[in-house]
Structure 1
Amino acid sequence: MNVEDSQGAFRLELGVTGFRDRGDPLLPSTDAQTCRAAWYAAARAACGQVEDFTEQEYPQNFHSATISDRDGTRIALFHAHYPLIAFVGDRRYWYTDEFQEPPTWATALTDVGFVVFSAAQLLSPLTESDTPALSATEWRQIEHWRPETLGATLFNSWD
Protein backbone atom coordinates (compact mmCIF):
# COMPACT_ATOMS: atom_id res chain seq x y z
CA MET A 1 0.00 0.00 0.00
CA ASN A 2 1.51 3.29 -1.03
CA VAL A 3 1.09 5.92 1.63
CA GLU A 4 1.62 8.79 -0.77
CA ASP A 5 2.27 9.27 -4.45
CA SER A 6 4.74 11.83 -5.77
CA GLN A 7 2.26 14.69 -5.23
CA GLY A 8 1.60 13.66 -1.62
CA ALA A 9 -1.92 12.24 -2.13
CA PHE A 10 -2.81 8.97 -0.45
CA ARG A 11 -3.43 6.19 -2.97
CA LEU A 12 -6.56 4.16 -2.29
CA GLU A 13 -6.08 0.60 -3.50
CA LEU A 14 -8.77 -1.60 -5.04
CA GLY A 15 -11.07 -2.87 -2.29
CA VAL A 16 -9.89 -0.48 0.42
CA THR A 17 -13.52 0.51 1.09
CA GLY A 18 -14.34 -3.14 1.84
CA PHE A 19 -16.35 -3.58 -1.35
CA ARG A 20 -15.51 -5.28 -4.63
CA ASP A 21 -17.09 -6.11 -7.96
CA ARG A 22 -18.01 -9.75 -8.50
CA GLY A 23 -15.29 -10.09 -11.12
CA ASP A 24 -12.59 -8.53 -8.95
CA PRO A 25 -10.17 -10.68 -6.97
CA LEU A 26 -11.05 -11.41 -3.36
CA LEU A 27 -10.12 -8.61 -0.99
CA PRO A 28 -6.84 -8.97 0.88
CA SER A 29 -7.06 -9.58 4.59
CA THR A 30 -5.15 -8.09 7.47
CA ASP A 31 -4.87 -11.07 9.77
CA ALA A 32 -6.48 -10.34 13.14
CA GLN A 33 -3.78 -12.34 14.97
CA THR A 34 -1.07 -10.20 13.34
CA CYS A 35 -2.95 -7.06 14.38
CA ARG A 36 -3.35 -8.38 17.92
CA ALA A 37 0.37 -9.23 18.18
CA ALA A 38 1.28 -5.75 16.94
CA TRP A 39 -1.10 -4.21 19.48
CA TYR A 40 0.55 -6.13 22.33
CA ALA A 41 3.95 -4.92 21.11
CA ALA A 42 2.58 -1.38 21.10
CA ALA A 43 1.31 -1.84 24.67
CA ARG A 44 4.80 -2.86 25.76
CA ALA A 45 6.24 0.22 24.03
CA ALA A 46 3.64 2.37 25.79
CA CYS A 47 4.31 0.74 29.17
CA GLY A 48 0.58 0.13 29.09
CA GLN A 49 -1.93 -2.65 29.13
CA VAL A 50 -4.13 -4.04 26.36
CA GLU A 51 -7.71 -3.61 27.47
CA ASP A 52 -9.25 -5.37 24.48
CA PHE A 53 -8.99 -6.30 20.84
CA THR A 54 -12.27 -6.74 18.97
CA GLU A 55 -12.23 -8.42 15.60
CA GLN A 56 -14.09 -6.88 12.68
CA GLU A 57 -17.76 -7.77 12.35
CA TYR A 58 -19.92 -7.01 9.34
CA PRO A 59 -20.52 -4.35 8.20
CA GLN A 60 -17.48 -2.71 9.82
CA ASN A 61 -14.28 -3.01 7.79
CA PHE A 62 -11.98 -2.62 10.79
CA HIS A 63 -10.87 -4.30 13.99
CA SER A 64 -10.68 -2.11 17.10
CA ALA A 65 -8.41 -2.21 20.12
CA THR A 66 -7.74 -0.32 23.34
CA ILE A 67 -4.58 0.30 25.35
CA SER A 68 -4.47 2.03 28.73
CA ASP A 69 -1.25 3.71 29.76
CA ARG A 70 -0.18 6.46 32.14
CA ASP A 71 -1.55 9.06 29.69
CA GLY A 72 -5.01 7.49 29.47
CA THR A 73 -6.84 5.24 27.06
CA ARG A 74 -5.97 4.98 23.37
CA ILE A 75 -8.24 3.36 20.80
CA ALA A 76 -7.00 2.18 17.42
CA LEU A 77 -8.80 0.97 14.32
CA PHE A 78 -7.02 -1.70 12.28
CA HIS A 79 -8.25 -1.87 8.68
CA ALA A 80 -9.49 -5.42 7.95
CA HIS A 81 -8.09 -5.52 4.39
CA TYR A 82 -4.92 -3.43 4.38
CA PRO A 83 -2.29 -2.76 7.10
CA LEU A 84 -3.70 0.66 7.98
CA ILE A 85 -4.29 2.11 11.45
CA ALA A 86 -6.22 5.13 12.71
CA PHE A 87 -6.52 6.42 16.26
CA VAL A 88 -9.88 7.63 17.58
CA GLY A 89 -11.19 9.11 20.82
CA ASP A 90 -13.95 6.60 21.55
CA ARG A 91 -15.67 3.51 20.22
CA ARG A 92 -18.35 4.13 17.64
CA TYR A 93 -20.15 2.12 15.02
CA TRP A 94 -18.65 4.35 12.28
CA TYR A 95 -16.35 7.34 12.10
CA THR A 96 -16.46 10.60 10.19
CA ASP A 97 -14.25 13.23 11.87
CA GLU A 98 -13.31 11.73 15.24
CA PHE A 99 -9.75 10.83 14.28
CA GLN A 100 -6.84 11.70 16.56
CA GLU A 101 -3.08 11.97 16.35
CA PRO A 102 -1.29 8.72 17.10
CA PRO A 103 0.70 8.53 20.32
CA THR A 104 4.50 8.49 20.10
CA TRP A 105 4.59 4.77 20.87
CA ALA A 106 2.67 4.06 17.64
CA THR A 107 6.06 3.71 15.96
CA ALA A 108 5.97 0.16 17.36
CA LEU A 109 3.15 -0.43 14.85
CA THR A 110 4.98 1.10 11.91
CA ASP A 111 8.06 -0.95 12.81
CA VAL A 112 6.07 -4.14 12.05
CA GLY A 113 4.68 -2.91 8.74
CA PHE A 114 1.51 -0.98 9.53
CA VAL A 115 0.75 2.48 8.13
CA VAL A 116 -0.31 4.71 11.02
CA PHE A 117 -2.20 7.77 9.86
CA SER A 118 -2.05 11.24 11.37
CA ALA A 119 -5.32 13.00 12.14
CA ALA A 120 -4.54 15.52 9.38
CA GLN A 121 -4.25 12.73 6.80
CA LEU A 122 -7.49 11.09 7.92
CA LEU A 123 -9.37 14.39 8.02
CA SER A 124 -8.18 15.43 4.56
CA PRO A 125 -10.90 15.63 1.91
CA LEU A 126 -11.40 12.44 -0.07
CA THR A 127 -11.11 14.59 -3.20
CA GLU A 128 -7.39 15.09 -2.39
CA SER A 129 -6.72 11.32 -2.50
CA ASP A 130 -5.48 9.27 -5.43
CA THR A 131 -8.54 7.16 -6.33
CA PRO A 132 -8.22 5.66 -9.87
CA ALA A 133 -7.78 2.12 -8.49
CA LEU A 134 -11.24 2.11 -6.89
CA SER A 135 -13.86 -0.03 -8.63
CA ALA A 136 -17.27 1.03 -9.91
CA THR A 137 -18.81 -0.79 -6.94
CA GLU A 138 -16.71 1.24 -4.53
CA TRP A 139 -17.67 4.47 -6.26
CA ARG A 140 -21.37 3.55 -5.96
CA GLN A 141 -20.87 3.08 -2.22
CA ILE A 142 -19.01 6.39 -1.96
CA GLU A 143 -21.80 8.15 -3.85
CA HIS A 144 -24.39 6.55 -1.56
CA TRP A 145 -22.65 7.12 1.79
CA ARG A 146 -20.98 10.42 0.84
CA PRO A 147 -17.89 10.28 3.06
CA GLU A 148 -16.16 13.63 3.08
CA THR A 149 -12.79 12.54 4.42
CA LEU A 150 -10.16 9.95 3.69
CA GLY A 151 -10.67 8.47 7.17
CA ALA A 152 -14.44 8.08 6.76
CA THR A 153 -13.80 6.26 3.49
CA LEU A 154 -11.09 3.95 4.83
CA PHE A 155 -12.73 3.06 8.16
CA ASN A 156 -16.40 2.51 7.51
CA SER A 157 -19.48 0.48 8.42
CA TRP A 158 -21.25 0.62 5.10
CA ASP A 159 -23.50 -2.28 4.17
Structure 2
Amino acid sequence: MPSIDPRACRATWHAAARAAGGRVEDFVEQEYPQNFHSASISNRNGTHVALFHAHYPLVSFVGDRRYWYTDEFQEPPAWATVLIGAGFVVLSAAQLLSPLEESDTSALSKAEWRQIKHWRPQSLGATLFNSWD
Protein backbone atom coordinates (compact mmCIF):
# COMPACT_ATOMS: atom_id res chain seq x y z
CA MET A 1 0.00 0.00 0.00
CA PRO A 2 1.14 3.55 -0.49
CA SER A 3 2.16 5.55 2.54
CA ILE A 4 1.69 9.18 3.50
CA ASP A 5 4.74 10.68 5.18
CA PRO A 6 3.72 11.56 8.75
CA ARG A 7 6.12 14.53 8.62
CA ALA A 8 4.03 16.03 5.81
CA CYS A 9 0.88 15.53 7.88
CA ARG A 10 2.52 17.10 10.92
CA ALA A 11 3.82 20.13 8.96
CA THR A 12 0.41 20.70 7.40
CA TRP A 13 -1.23 20.37 10.83
CA HIS A 14 1.03 23.13 12.17
CA ALA A 15 -0.01 25.34 9.25
CA ALA A 16 -3.65 24.56 10.08
CA ALA A 17 -3.06 25.57 13.71
CA ARG A 18 -1.78 28.96 12.55
CA ALA A 19 -4.85 29.40 10.34
CA ALA A 20 -7.09 28.37 13.26
CA GLY A 21 -5.45 30.89 15.58
CA GLY A 22 -4.54 28.04 17.88
CA ARG A 23 -1.76 25.70 18.79
CA VAL A 24 -0.98 22.08 18.08
CA GLU A 25 -1.63 19.98 21.15
CA ASP A 26 -0.16 16.84 19.66
CA PHE A 27 0.37 14.68 16.62
CA VAL A 28 0.31 10.92 17.27
CA GLU A 29 1.65 8.68 14.54
CA GLN A 30 -0.26 5.58 13.50
CA GLU A 31 0.46 2.40 15.42
CA TYR A 32 -0.66 -1.04 14.33
CA PRO A 33 -3.44 -1.92 13.84
CA GLN A 34 -4.72 1.65 13.38
CA ASN A 35 -4.48 2.95 9.83
CA PHE A 36 -4.50 6.63 10.79
CA HIS A 37 -2.48 9.29 12.57
CA SER A 38 -4.36 11.54 14.99
CA ALA A 39 -3.75 15.16 15.88
CA SER A 40 -5.34 17.93 17.90
CA ILE A 41 -5.41 21.70 17.82
CA SER A 42 -6.72 23.94 20.60
CA ASN A 43 -8.05 27.42 19.91
CA ARG A 44 -10.69 29.74 21.36
CA ASN A 45 -13.42 27.44 19.99
CA GLY A 46 -12.11 24.38 21.84
CA THR A 47 -10.14 21.33 20.79
CA HIS A 48 -10.28 19.98 17.25
CA VAL A 49 -9.22 16.39 16.57
CA ALA A 50 -8.33 15.17 13.09
CA LEU A 51 -7.48 11.77 11.68
CA PHE A 52 -4.94 11.56 8.86
CA HIS A 53 -5.19 8.32 6.89
CA ALA A 54 -1.76 6.63 6.91
CA HIS A 55 -1.97 5.44 3.28
CA TYR A 56 -4.03 8.02 1.39
CA PRO A 57 -4.22 11.83 1.71
CA LEU A 58 -7.57 11.71 3.51
CA VAL A 59 -8.49 13.69 6.62
CA SER A 60 -11.54 13.47 8.87
CA PHE A 61 -12.56 15.37 11.98
CA VAL A 62 -13.90 13.67 15.10
CA GLY A 63 -15.10 14.77 18.53
CA ASP A 64 -12.44 12.99 20.56
CA ARG A 65 -9.72 10.37 20.36
CA ARG A 66 -10.72 6.76 20.25
CA TYR A 67 -9.17 3.49 19.27
CA TRP A 68 -11.63 3.12 16.37
CA TYR A 69 -14.50 5.12 14.91
CA THR A 70 -18.00 4.30 13.76
CA ASP A 71 -20.25 7.38 13.77
CA GLU A 72 -18.26 10.07 15.61
CA PHE A 73 -17.31 12.05 12.50
CA GLN A 74 -17.85 15.81 12.43
CA GLU A 75 -17.90 18.57 9.85
CA PRO A 76 -14.46 20.11 9.33
CA PRO A 77 -13.88 23.63 10.63
CA ALA A 78 -13.53 26.47 8.10
CA TRP A 79 -9.76 26.63 8.55
CA ALA A 80 -9.44 23.04 7.28
CA THR A 81 -9.09 24.55 3.80
CA VAL A 82 -5.37 24.82 4.67
CA LEU A 83 -5.26 21.02 4.55
CA ILE A 84 -6.91 21.02 1.13
CA GLY A 85 -4.37 23.55 -0.12
CA ALA A 86 -1.62 21.15 0.95
CA GLY A 87 -3.07 18.30 -1.13
CA PHE A 88 -5.22 16.51 1.42
CA VAL A 89 -8.85 15.57 0.85
CA VAL A 90 -10.90 16.75 3.82
CA LEU A 91 -13.99 14.59 4.10
CA SER A 92 -17.31 15.92 5.36
CA ALA A 93 -19.35 14.27 8.07
CA ALA A 94 -22.04 13.52 5.48
CA GLN A 95 -19.54 11.62 3.34
CA LEU A 96 -18.05 9.74 6.27
CA LEU A 97 -21.41 8.82 7.78
CA SER A 98 -22.87 7.63 4.47
CA PRO A 99 -23.59 3.90 4.22
CA LEU A 100 -20.77 1.93 2.64
CA GLU A 101 -23.24 0.51 0.11
CA GLU A 102 -23.67 4.02 -1.34
CA SER A 103 -19.94 4.42 -1.99
CA ASP A 104 -17.91 3.43 -5.03
CA THR A 105 -16.02 0.39 -3.78
CA SER A 106 -14.86 -0.88 -7.18
CA ALA A 107 -11.16 -0.30 -6.38
CA LEU A 108 -11.19 -2.49 -3.26
CA SER A 109 -9.17 -5.69 -3.34
CA LYS A 110 -10.31 -9.16 -2.30
CA ALA A 111 -8.29 -8.81 0.92
CA GLU A 112 -10.07 -5.54 1.71
CA TRP A 113 -13.45 -7.14 1.07
CA ARG A 114 -12.54 -9.98 3.44
CA GLN A 115 -11.83 -7.37 6.15
CA ILE A 116 -15.11 -5.59 5.43
CA LYS A 117 -17.05 -8.84 5.63
CA HIS A 118 -15.33 -9.69 8.91
CA TRP A 119 -15.59 -6.29 10.65
CA ARG A 120 -18.92 -5.21 9.07
CA PRO A 121 -18.45 -1.42 9.08
CA GLN A 122 -21.69 0.47 8.57
CA SER A 123 -20.28 3.69 7.13
CA LEU A 124 -17.63 4.90 4.75
CA GLY A 125 -15.81 6.57 7.64
CA ALA A 126 -15.70 3.38 9.71
CA THR A 127 -14.24 1.63 6.66
CA LEU A 128 -11.63 4.28 5.90
CA PHE A 129 -10.44 5.02 9.45
CA ASN A 130 -10.16 1.72 11.24
CA SER A 131 -8.14 -0.40 13.65
CA TRP A 132 -8.56 -3.74 11.96
CA ASP A 133 -5.83 -6.32 12.33
TM-score, L = length of structure 2: 0.99
Query: Corresponding residue for 1:86?
Result: 60
- Structure 2: gaps spanning 5 or more residues: none
Q: Which residue of 1 aligns with 2:49?
A: 75
- Bigger helix fraction: 2
Give the structure, 1 or 2, with the largest relative contact order (CA under 8 Å, sep 6 or more): 1
Q: Report the Cα distance in structure 1 between the residues aligned to 2:46 and 2:117, rounded to whole angstroms.
A: 37
**Structure 1 residue aligned with 2:16, among 25, 42, 45?**
42
Q: Corresponding residue for 1:10?
A: none
- 1:129-150 Cα deviation digits (max 9, x unpaired): 1111111110000000000100
Please state whether the residue corresponding to 1:75 is helix, strand or coil: strand
- Partner SS state of residue 90, structure 1: coil
| Structure 1 vs Structure 2 CA RMSD | 0.4
Q: Where do residues 43-122 of structure 1 align in structure 2 (5 Å cutoff)?
A: 43-122=17-96
What's the counterpart of residue 110 of structure 2? 136
- How far, CA to CA, are the matches of 2:90 and 2:60 in structure 1? 6
Identity in percent: 77
Once the two structures are superposed, residues 91-116 of structure 1 have per-residue CA deviations (whole angstroms, 9 ceiling, x without a partner) of 00000000000000000000000000
Task: Give the corresponding residue for 1:8.
Answer: none
Structure 1 unmatched ranges of 5 or more: 1-26
Q: Which residue of 1 aligns with 2:5?
A: 31
Scaled by the length of structure 1, what TM-score is found?
0.83
- Rounded to whole Å, the distance in 1 between the matches of 2:130 and 2:20 is 27
Q: Which has the larger radius of gyration?
A: 1
Q: 2:14 & 2:59 partners in 1: Cα distance?
A: 14
Letter in 1 for 2:60: A
